[in-house]
Amino acid sequence: MVPPAVARLSRAWFPSGGIAVSGVEDAHSKLIRAGLLRQSNAGMFHMLPLGRRVQDKIEALVAGHMEDLLGKSLTRYT
């Protein structure tokens, strides 16, 4: 019988672009390696669920600080 914690971990797999770090690594390569993005085509990336969760938390943090400073926010969706 598999313990519940191990079964949960097997469902929490996040794809990564590999473990080895190259000599010079740009920002999107780090995000791919962290499992936040996946490259679909040349120059095009899909945000994975973990990346979206991180983005939502950062947006909430910035919005909280903006409210403290009585700042306004503008959201533009295309």
| pTM attached to this predicted model | 0.61
Residue 35 CB contacts under 8 Å (≥ 6 apart), including other chains: 14, 15, 16, 48, 50, 51
**Locate tokens 């969706």: which residue?**
77
Contact between 51 and 31 under an 8 Å Cβ cutoff? The reply is yes
Tell me the longest C-alpha to C-alpha distance in the chain: 55
Locate 53 and state its tokens. Answer: 């969760």
pLDDT beyond 70 at 11? no
At 10 the pLDDT is 53
Please report which confidence band the pLDDT of residue 56 belongs to, taking 50, 70 and 90 as the band edges.
Answer: very high
The residue ranges of every structural domain in the chain are 4-68
